[in-house]
Amino acid sequence: MEEETGTLPPKSAFSEWYNELLWRAEIMDVRYPVKGLYVWYPHGFAIRREVYRILREIMDREHREALFPLLIPASEFMKEAEHIKGFEDEVYWVTRGGKAELDIPLALRPTSETAIYPMYALWIRSHADLPLRIYQVVNSFRYETKHTRPLIRLREITSFKEAHTVHATWEEAEEQVRKAITFYREFYERLCVPVIVSRRPDWDKFPGADYTLAVDTIMPDGKTLQIGTAHHLGTHFSRTFQILFEDKNGEQKHAQQTCYGISERSIAALISLHGDDRGIILPPDVAPIQVIIVPVIVGKRKDEILAQAASLATELRGGAYRVQMDNRDLRPGAKYYYWEMRGVPLRLEIGPRDIDAGVVTAITRDGERSVLPRINLGEKVRDTLSGFEVRLREKARHRMEDGITKVTSLSEIPPALEKGIAIIPWCGERACADKLAQQSGGDVLGIITDTGKSVRKEGSCIICGEPAIPTLMGRAY
């Protein structure tokens, strides 16, 4: 087996670092012969499995998973006017089956409202059927004409988790949108990814929504990445698709709906925020391999060392850790390079001196070295991993906080955007937002809120001087 050579560009050159990291850490292969479509390497896919296991754990508490078809007939897709307008330039169309033209073209779902809601119209009859909370994890398609980027701007979104809920009242749907944000906050907390939530301006909301809340994070280059959205759909779709229910008084009413989604952008954030010049860094919870054991082999005690390493692996697996032992015929340095690149949280080295001293040498992926007693190692490993996770989360949180600047004048915005997000006072009018964007080079992301409700006024709009609401500006991906 060849040793890997070459180094990653420094993380300060983020874009180059990201592109190079994807293949060196074996996350995605970008050489697939269609623009915007990528291949998940086994290691990348193993990370995806852990990330989506966590997402499912959270969703399963109050949703049920289902699965709807990919192909949506043009007749259904074209029913909701705003929705069509929002997606018509981005939809892939299947027009041929075998050698025949199809009677009705079929859209590859860009999102599944128009696939799911005709079924909801059949499923929902009475208030007793509500609330209905379902999600699916599917591939979705956007014919992106902009620059595509692995995990971030894709033509095949391979990992779209979309939830679709139905409620009796507008307020209950509003409450569900608020809860969606708490689910996503918890999810990202477990990925050690800090987030900030805002309500998108009306011109930037989901096509067919009453309003949209969005979860953003700040990437290492200071740009913001939208990594989750939650939409109050009101009755836009239930009127179009005739989703009616009989309420307690026997009256027919249009249902209130929400939808909310997360994609593999969550993994883009995960690897971008935590990685360093040596590769990716994975929180233990999502690491396919949490502990890599490297036997440090010295000629004549080889068998003994390998046996000790193997018994260590067995013991830790029994403690429910995901453990692998690297007994390839490579220099230790090459092994360290290999597993650091792939983000393994903890490396345990065991050599003749460790055995003689009854210890194991532990090195976390952020470089903390300690010597752990061999006895009851499982507990020490737990403490070491949990300390590492806390450091990872705190470090990311501090960087995020450093990237957010409160400003009160136009001239302060560009330097704030260089670092990340500017919190500005804005009146809520589009004309002012457009001027802010033009004059600062950033975008109005939305007003700060976790609930969708307008927050209290504070300060005056930088542009027009009217009473303002604290608002996020950033340079969006």
20 in contact with a copy of itself (CB under 8 A): no
Tell me which amino acid residue 430 is: R
Closest separation in Å from C-beta 43 to a copy of itself: 8
Closest CA to 257 of 276, 281, 232, 289: 232
Q: Is 205 within 8 Å of 211 (Cβ atoms)? A: yes
Helices 377-402 and 302-318 sit at what angle, rounded to 10 degrees? 70
Q: CB-wise, 114 or 308, nearer to a copy of itself? A: 114
Q: Is 250 in the site for a copy of itself (CB under 8 A)?
A: no
Residue of 4, 12, 16, 32 interacting with a copy of itself (CB under 8 A)? 32
Judged by CB under 8 A, the residue of 34, 303, 358, 438 near a copy of itself is 34
Q: Which stretch binds a copy of itself (CB under 8 A): 65-73, 194-202, 347-355, 381-389?
A: 65-73
Minimum distance between the CB of residue 95 and a copy of itself, rounded to whole angstroms?
A: 5
**Site membership for a copy of itself, residue 357 (CB under 8 A):** no
Candidates 38-46, 235-243, 289-297, 375-383: pick the segment binding a copy of itself (CB under 8 A). Answer: 38-46
277 touches a copy of itself by CB under 8 A: no
Out of 90, 276, 366, 450, the only residue in the binding site for a copy of itself (CB under 8 A) is 90
Would you count residue 122 as binding a copy of itself (CB under 8 A)?
A: yes
Return the DSSP state at 300: G
Regarding 314 and contact with a copy of itself (CB under 8 A), the answer is: no
| Residue 289 per-residue DSSP state | S
Q: Quick check: 289 binds a copy of itself (CB under 8 A)?
A: no
What's the rounded Cα separation, in Å, for the pair 203 and 261?
19
How many C-beta atoms surround the C-beta of residue 18 within 10 A? 23
CB 37 to a copy of itself: min, Å: 4
Residue 358 binds a copy of itself (CB under 8 A): no
Stretch binding a copy of itself (CB under 8 A), from 40-48, 228-236, 308-316, 444-452: 40-48
d(CA 154, CA 214): 19
Contact status: 404 vs a copy of itself (CB under 8 A): no
- Label the pairing between strands 196-199 and 443-448: antiparallel
Residue 69 interacting with a copy of itself (CB under 8 A): yes
Q: Site residues for a copy of itself, window 132-161 (CB under 8 A)?
A: 134, 139, 143, 145, 155-156, 158
From candidates 9, 19, 58, 70, binder to a copy of itself by CB under 8 A: 70
Select the residue interacting with a copy of itself from 31, 147, 300, 456 (CB under 8 A): 31
Nearer to a copy of itself, 64 or 317 (CB): 64
45-to-29, 267, 401 alpha-carbon distances in Å? 11, 10, 31
Burial of 100 (0-12, 13-18, 19+ CB in 10 A): exposed
Distance CA 326, CA 293 (A): 6
Q: Identify which of 129, 109, 127, 124 has the alpha carbon closest to the alpha carbon of residue 67.
A: 109
Q: Measured from the CB of residue 140, what is the shortest distance to a copy of itself in angstroms?
A: 10
Closest to a copy of itself by CB, 107 vs 346, is 107
Figure out which of the listed residues 41, 310, 412, 435 binds a copy of itself, where binding follows CB under 8 A.
41
202 phi, psi to nearest 5 deg:
-55, -35
Q: Is residue 23 classed exposed, middle or buried when 0-12, 13-18 and 19+ CB atoms within 10 A define those classes?
A: middle
Q: Considering the complex, state which of residue 138 and residue 180 has its C-beta at the smaller distance from a copy of itself.
A: 138
Indicate whether 477 belongs to the interface with a copy of itself (CB under 8 A): no
Cβ 108 to a copy of itself shortest distance, Å: 7
Beta strands 421-426 and 404-406: pairing type? parallel
* Contact present, 173 and 167 (Cβ < 8 Å): yes
| Interaction between residue 91 and a copy of itself (CB under 8 A) | yes
Matching residue, tokens 């001196």: 353
Determine, following the binding rule CB under 8 A, whether residue 78 of this chain makes contact with a copy of itself: no
**Residue 66 or residue 307: which is nearer to a copy of itself going by CB?**
66
Buried b (16+ CB within 10 A) or exposed e, 242-280: ebbbeeeeeeebbbbbbbbbbbbbbbbbbbbbbbbebbb
Q: What is the DSSP letter of 129?
A: G
Residue ranges in contact with a copy of itself by CB under 8 A: 1-2, 29, 31-34, 37-42, 45-46, 48-49, 64-71, 73, 75-76, 88-99, 105-106, 108, 115, 118-119, 122-123, 128, 134, 139, 143, 145, 155-156, 158
